[in-house]
Structure 1
Amino acid sequence: ACMAGAVCGDHISPISDTTIMASAGAECKHVHHVSSQLPYALTVAAVSFLTFVVAGFTQQLGVVASAAISWIFGIAMIFSALWILKRIGSRQPH
């Protein structure tokens, strides 16, 4: 959970060295790069949070069972989020 939070914070922080270098490398405005990363980072952070909650509730089943349930739940949530985002994106005029 600590590492997931650190990665999320690194991706959405406007003062992160990797964010500054990525926007400089892409030759785009720094603020635009940060705002373009927000939907992706927050989606993954929400899925990660829910997966950790599931792991906490299933820990009494054992380490292997809890890990398997958490992985399956997390993968299902990611694919669900991708499907929803694809549906939302296809409704918007180009």
Structure 2
Amino acid sequence: MIIHVGLDTVELNGEGFDILVKEGDTVKVGYPLSNIDLEFTKSSNKKVVTPVLITNYEDKVKSFHLENNSLRVKCKELVLKCELK
């Protein structure tokens, strides 16, 4: 999965972000991935829209179920469940 927090946030050079995992880590439901200073991000005129991409879907994912297909979700709200092969 690729989770890109915010639009143009790369211009902040990591400021306002505390990443808690690294590439290749295994996480479980409810495990925090990062802490984000939303006020700082917004005050820097960056949007906090967060695209989530599932890569190698055919090779890695046995099934998935969309829990919420709303355009807006709240922090810690379940969006989808994936069962890996």
Decide which structure has greater strand share. 2
Higher helix share: 1
Per the TM superposition, whether the score is higher than 0.5 is no
> Bigger relative contact order, structure 1 or 2, given CA contacts below 8 A and separation 6+?
2
**What's the TM-score once normalised by structure 2's chain length?**
0.23
